[in-house]
A and B are shown apart, each in its own frame.
Chain A
Amino acid sequence: MTLQLASSANLALVLLPEIVLSVAAMVVLLASVRIQKAEADATDRARSLGGLALAGLLAAAVANGWLHWVSPEGEPGMITLDAFGLFANWVFLLGAALTILVSFPYVARQGLQPGEFYALILLATVGMMIMAGTTNLILLFLALETMSIAAYVLTAFHRGERKSAEAGIKYFILGAFSSAFLLYGIALVWGGAGTVDLREIAATVEAGAGFNGLVLAGMGLLGVGFAFKVGAAPFHMWTPDVYEGAPSPSTAFMAAAVKAASFAAFLRVFTEAFSSLYESWYPVVWWMAALTMVVANLIALTQSNVKRMLAYSSLAHGGYLLVGVASANEIATASILFYLLVYTIMTLGAFGVLMIVSEHGESRFQVEDYAGFGASQPLLGVLFTIFLLSLAGFPGTGGFMGKIFLLQGAAESHLWTLAVILALTTVVSYYYYLRVAWYVWMRPAPAGALAAWAPVSVTAVLMGCAGVLIFLGIFPSGLLNGALTAAHGLWLRGLDAGLSGLVR
């Protein structure tokens, strides 16, 4: 069906997933007050509120699916309705849903306030969806803050734990710092181009009408802001501490969904607004990608704490994704979308197992704690191995297809050096992923080790994740085409700006 964007009621329909999700967050908050009184058992509370939040996510997913059938007519304003945004929304919704699904036992055992916890996840997701869908820098900033503030609170959510509070403060201060960069960048771009609309900026820059120096400076500051958010070296220092200190479900959510949202916004701004300045920003992104891949993978090698190792691994994956950003072509953009989806599934799967081994608490993160895990929990051991292999990018898993896709994007722009660095750092990453696998399977359990406890629902979700990863590793065509369509939508405008000629 077609949607006339001239009518404001129809504009609300474009925002339907966001609206549904915001309402769901309010409902969860309200219900938590009632349920607090009605149900004494923490597990039941977590389950019923989590179920409510999942229902909200499902409703938003239905709305998002419906938007695929809609073709808008007229000027969209600050929010655009395109396949890129919709695809990114799937990633965020999936990330939020999986986080909630694997964290039931954690929330119950640690006595977290389930209502607030789930509501914050939903609100952060709303922010992400607007980030991916907006074409206006001011709205982008607001959405980013919506997401970030929810993420700061989620990081510090374990009020009783010093580490969690410390991580929250660190994240808040550095996050605020990076937001300031972003805001200053927006101000300078506005000063140079006279507008905050991405397409108008692109038009102004291409016509050479604006004050180019200011736009360049603003673009640089925007880049710094985004680099902070995606954890690109050398702006990655905050990530390991924050990821390690935050409650595990929050870490999983940040490593997957928050990172995905930052990449989506990064991509949209730099391809839609600054594609004609590709030659100015591409070397910077090139170096950030190379540096991130090398630094993150090398430091991950030395980690004996699995949670911290996963934090560095998440940085490394950010580096791979930056290769896609630096490549800046349609295939690369599609590959980033594809990779983000796969990455969300495998990261949340790995964190799901991590939470089981750490007994849904903040202990037993050392790699030695995984000794004998495969013998006592063969099924979970196999699932964990699949997640690790997928993170390592091994054939037969979705992670492999994602990496091939990223490499194809790099090849399309002739970034062969980056491709080789990606390949070499992947070999390095094999070591630290395999090290966990060898503790799981090849070391006997120490005497007196507790049997890990995993509810059936969590095991089922993890099995689903592993199944999807294997399926995508064998039959990726459907999702590849989806990602290519989504990227095509974004690049129709990027190509107008004449970028294709520059990528040589």
Chain B
Amino acid sequence: MTALLDAVGYDAWALHALVWVPVLGAIAVVLSSEERSKNVAFWCSAGVFVLSLGLWWAFDSAGPLFQLATRTVWIAPWGVSYALGIDGISLMMVLLTTLTLPLAILGSFQYIRERRRAFYALMLLLETAIVGVFVAMDLFLFYVFFELTLIPMYFIVGVWGGERRIYAAVKFFLFTALGSLLMLVGILYLYFRARAGGGAPSFYILDLLGTPLTIAEQLWLFAAFALAFAIKVPIFPLHTWLPDAHVEAPTPGSVVLAAVLLKMGTYGFLRFVLPFFPEAASHPTVVAWMLALGVIGIVYAAWVAAVQPDAKKLVAYSSVAHMGFVVIGTFALTVNGLQGGLMVMLSHGLSTGALFLLIGMLYERRHTRLISDFGGLARVAPLLATAFVVAALTSIGVPGTSGFIGEFLSILGTFERYPVTAVVATSGVIFAAYYMLPMVQRIFFNRLDRAENQRVNDLSGREAVILAPLVALMIILGAYPTPVLSRMEPAVRAIVEYVGSDGEAGALAELARGGAEVRAAAIAPIARARTP
């Protein structure tokens, strides 16, 4: 495989292609006919996914921290560069994104009937923006992509959404914009501080890393950045936009929102907040607050989810609970905790994406999402029921699924330092079973007593194709997560060491302090060490 990648020079163009091919696809969609646009969009996003698979082999977990790195001057007067690169964390996020998008698009074939061209063009633009967020190595570039995700999502929710779509779209937009604009001021502050220390103006994250800041400055900047990402995650009590947006969005929109967009927030914590402000991030008060909010999110969202009559809303609240695990895993600042958080992110992307797709499929069949309208569907739609049960069990975190690995690791990582928090968080797993299992029972088991429910069809071929990879991955990652964990480990270890030592130790510290030679060793334009 690596020989093939080398032969086509994959490392040199892969990231550029992943970011920009969807834009070309969007143009192709606009130029195609209304009927054919969905196929164009699907094949384009599927092509991007195939392209992105090469990253799995191109990325060398024994290699430098950042790989496939490129950097070109973009806005010279400000020192902004167009810099891309991936570490193990970005790698997994990119793969999750490129996997989710074609499935979401395929899942929308029946659902989206009006203005298809516009819809699919927006979906592809969304893919560009999300991939851009995960591969940007320049803070300015990151910010641009981060904000650009808002526009397609605003229109996807607002135009194709449910009854209260405009309210949900505007709420989503304003909430996230509020956070990100304050972060923008924070970014500029950081930029000016880095420049004041001498050196050319730059937004390149490795240039900004290790900028000397007083503890007060760190705390303020931490607040500005953390607010933006906390709204995106979302962390309790900033989560109120999420149920509205998820429920009102059309199925593909909910899938992308839950599976990928939320991860931009947790990714932001790992990529920027922890490395840039290590002293603030390991400040006892800050850690206590973040852990507390994470735990409250886990427990509170679970309780709220338990009383939702609407299946989609129930799953939406379960997202908030899952993200709580990511938060505690992250702020425990242990390798296990971060790894667990990342696994929860991946697993949540798979399981919640699948659940939203499945609920969308049920809605297409019955035109309702109320749990009480269903019953006994397992008898008429066994495949659908199977997929749903696997996704639900993954969501709960039952052993054997990817959800278990994630939640176990994040609780374990938290327990190493904060046992009480970990114990309370563990109750979240029980609550997850408490809200998820009754829903499964009431929809799929119980009695098949309604005529409408007896006529429900099982999965069509297209639907099976959508769900199969998700279900398979949930089980494979649950059984054998090592390849994923080992690829993420160097990046995670670097962050933990850097933050744990207040920016004194670890691979990131070397990058921050090091000159050109150190950087050349740690950021490689070509991933694998080549044997001549």
CA distance A391 to B78 in the complex (A): 22
Say which residue of A400, A411, A426, A477 sits within 8 Å of B192 (CB atoms): A411
CA distance A407 to B186 in the complex (A): 11
Smallest CB-CB separation from A426: which chain B residue? B181
Interface residues of B in 111-165 (CB under 8 A from A): 115, 118, 143-144, 147-148, 151, 154-155, 158-159, 165
Q: Are A434 and B173 in contact (CB under 8 A)?
A: yes
* With A423-B181, A438-B158, A438-B170 already in contact, 12 other A-B pairs whose C-beta atoms are closer than 8 Å: A394-B151, A395-B148, A396-B148, A404-B184, A404-B188, A426-B181, A427-B178, A430-B173, A442-B169, A477-B77, A480-B78, A481-B76
Is A299's beta carbon under 8 Å from chain B?
no
Q: With a CB–CB cut-off of 8 A, which chain B residues contact A426?
A: 181
Given contacts A394-B147, A396-B148, A442-B165, contact A424 B77 (CB under 8 A): no
Say which residue of B147, B158, B178, B185 sits within 8 Å of A407 (CB atoms): B185
CA distance A82 to B104 in the complex (A): 57
Min C-beta distance of A9 to chain B, whole Å: 38
CA distance A358 to B237 in the complex (A): 44
Say which residue of B177, B188, B191 sits within 8 Å of A419 (CB atoms): B188
Is A476's beta carbon under 8 Å from chain B?
yes
Q: With a CB–CB cut-off of 8 A, which chain B residues contact A503?
A: none
CA distance A199 to B218 in the complex (A): 44
Q: Are B169 and A430 in contact (CB under 8 A)?
A: no
Is A365's beta carbon under 8 Å from chain B?
no
Is B75's beta carbon under 8 Å from chain A?
yes
Q: With a CB–CB cut-off of 8 A, which chain B residues contact A419?
A: 185, 188
Q: Are A480 and B169 in contact (CB under 8 A)?
A: no
Is B166's beta carbon under 8 Å from chain A?
yes
Q: With a CB–CB cut-off of 8 A, which chain A residues contact B148?
A: 395-396
Smallest CB-CB separation from A389: which chain B residue? B151
Interface residues of A in 394-420 (CB under 8 A from B): 394-396, 400, 404, 407-408, 411-412, 416, 419-420
Q: Are A411 and B155 in contact (CB under 8 A)?
A: no
Q: Are B174 and A430 in contact (CB under 8 A)?
A: yes
Is A484's beta carbon under 8 Å from chain B?
yes
Q: With a CB–CB cut-off of 8 A, which chain A residues contact B178?
A: 424, 427
19 interchain pairs, CB-CB under 8 A: A378-B118, A389-B151, A395-B144, A396-B148, A404-B184, A404-B188, A411-B188, A411-B189, A419-B188, A423-B181, A427-B177, A431-B174, A438-B166, A438-B169, A442-B166, A477-B75, A477-B77, A480-B77, A484-B77
CA distance A357 to B43 in the complex (A): 38
Is A441's beta carbon under 8 Å from chain B?
yes
Min C-beta distance of B82 to chain A, whole Å: 10
CA distance A477 to B171 in the complex (A): 34
Q: With a CB–CB cut-off of 8 A, which chain B residues contact A411?
A: 188-189, 191-192
| Interface set of B (CB-CB < 8 Å, partner A) | 74-78, 115, 118, 143-144, 147-148, 151, 154-155, 158-159, 165-166, 169-170, 173-174, 177-178, 181-182, 184-185, 188-189, 191-192
Q: Are B184 and A434 in contact (CB under 8 A)?
A: no
Tell me what chain A mostly uses at the interface: helix, strand, loop, or mixed.
helix
Q: With a CB–CB cut-off of 8 A, which chain A residues contact B143?
A: 395
Min C-beta distance of A372 to chain B, whole Å: 12
Smallest CB-CB separation from A428: which chain B residue? B174
CA distance A292 to B182 in the complex (A): 19
Most buried by A among B74, B181, B182, B189: B181
Min C-beta distance of A95 to chain B, whole Å: 24
Q: Looking at chain A, what size class is its interface with the partner chain?
A: 20 to 34
The 9 A-B residue pairs whose C-beta atoms are closest, nearest first, are A423-B181, A395-B144, A395-B147, A480-B77, A442-B158, A427-B178, A411-B192, A423-B185, A419-B185
Given contacts A438-B170, A441-B159, contact A416 B185 (CB under 8 A): yes
CA distance A456 to B271 in the complex (A): 48
Q: With a CB–CB cut-off of 8 A, which chain B residues contact A389?
A: 151
CA distance A412 to B174 in the complex (A): 28
Q: With a CB–CB cut-off of 8 A, which chain A residues contact B159?
A: 441-442
Min C-beta distance of A18 to chain B, whole Å: 31
Smallest CB-CB separation from A403: which chain B residue? B184
Q: Are B185 and A420 in contact (CB under 8 A)?
A: yes
Q: With a CB–CB cut-off of 8 A, which chain B residues contact A431?
A: 170, 174
Q: With a CB–CB cut-off of 8 A, which chain A residues contact B165?
A: 442
Q: Are A441 and B75 in contact (CB under 8 A)?
A: no
CA distance A484 to B173 in the complex (A): 34
Q: With a CB–CB cut-off of 8 A, which chain A residues contact B147?
A: 394-395
CA distance A404 to B78 in the complex (A): 10
Q: With a CB–CB cut-off of 8 A, which chain A residues contact B173?
A: 430, 434
CA distance A109 to B121 in the complex (A): 37
Q: Are B174 and A408 in contact (CB under 8 A)?
A: no
CA distance A477 to B155 in the complex (A): 30
Q: With a CB–CB cut-off of 8 A, which chain A residues contact B182?
A: 420, 423-424
CA distance A304 to B166 in the complex (A): 17
Q: With a CB–CB cut-off of 8 A, which chain B residues contact A420?
A: 182, 185
Q: With a CB–CB cut-off of 8 A, which chain A residues contact B158?
A: 438, 441-442
Q: With a CB–CB cut-off of 8 A, which chain A residues contact B185?
A: 407, 416, 419-420, 423
Given contacts A394-B151, A480-B77, contact A407 B170 (CB under 8 A): no
Q: Are B154 and A434 in contact (CB under 8 A)?
A: yes
CA distance A190 to B339 in the complex (A): 72
Contact digits for A5-44, partner B, Cβ 8 Å, 1 yes 0 no: 0000000000000000000000000000000000000000
Say which residue of B76, B154, B177 sits within 8 Å of A477 (CB atoms): B76
Q: With a CB–CB cut-off of 8 A, which chain A residues contact B169?
A: 438, 442
Smallest CB-CB separation from A401: which chain B residue? B75
Min C-beta distance of B119 to chain A, whole Å: 12
Min C-beta distance of A379 to chain B, whole Å: 11
Min C-beta distance of B316 to chain A, whole Å: 21
CA distance A86 to B2 in the complex (A): 57
CA distance A420 to B75 in the complex (A): 24
CA distance A477 to B188 in the complex (A): 18
Q: Are B170 and A434 in contact (CB under 8 A)?
A: yes
CA distance A412 to B192 in the complex (A): 8
Most buried by A among B74, B118, B185: B185
Min C-beta distance of A134 to chain B, whole Å: 29
Q: With a CB–CB cut-off of 8 A, which chain B residues contact A396?
A: 144, 148
CA distance A411 to B78 in the complex (A): 13
Min C-beta distance of B391 to chain A, whole Å: 31
CA distance A382 to B399 in the complex (A): 49
Q: With a CB–CB cut-off of 8 A, which chain B residues contact A427?
A: 174, 177-178, 181
CA distance A441 to B158 in the complex (A): 8
Q: With a CB–CB cut-off of 8 A, which chain B residues contact A430?
A: 173-174, 177
CA distance A480 to B189 in the complex (A): 20
Q: Are B181 and A416 in contact (CB under 8 A)?
A: no
Min C-beta distance of B230 to chain A, whole Å: 16
Say which residue of A408, A424, A434 sits within 8 Å of B188 (CB atoms): A408
CA distance A389 to B15 in the complex (A): 28
Contact digits for A420-457, partner B, Cβ 8 Å, 1 yes 0 no: 10011011001100110010011000000000000000
Smallest CB-CB separation from A435: which chain B residue? B170
CA distance A441 to B115 in the complex (A): 11
Most buried by B among A395, A400, A438, A484: A395
Contact digits for A470-490, partner B, Cβ 8 Å, 1 yes 0 no: 000000110011001000000
Most buried by A among B147, B159, B177: B177
Q: With a CB–CB cut-off of 8 A, which chain B residues contact A481?
A: 76-77
Q: With a CB–CB cut-off of 8 A, which chain B residues contact A442?
A: 158-159, 165-166, 169
Min C-beta distance of B131 to chain A, whole Å: 16
Q: With a CB–CB cut-off of 8 A, which chain A residues contact B118?
A: 378
CA distance A400 to B145 in the complex (A): 13
Min C-beta distance of B139 to chain A, whole Å: 12
CA distance A87 to B169 in the complex (A): 40
Min C-beta distance of A333 to chain B, whole Å: 14
Q: With a CB–CB cut-off of 8 A, which chain B residues contact A434?
A: 154, 170, 173
Q: Are B181 and A408 in contact (CB under 8 A)?
A: no
CA distance A308 to B133 in the complex (A): 37
CA distance A232 to B158 in the complex (A): 35
Min C-beta distance of B66 to chain A, whole Å: 24
CA distance A408 to B426 in the complex (A): 46
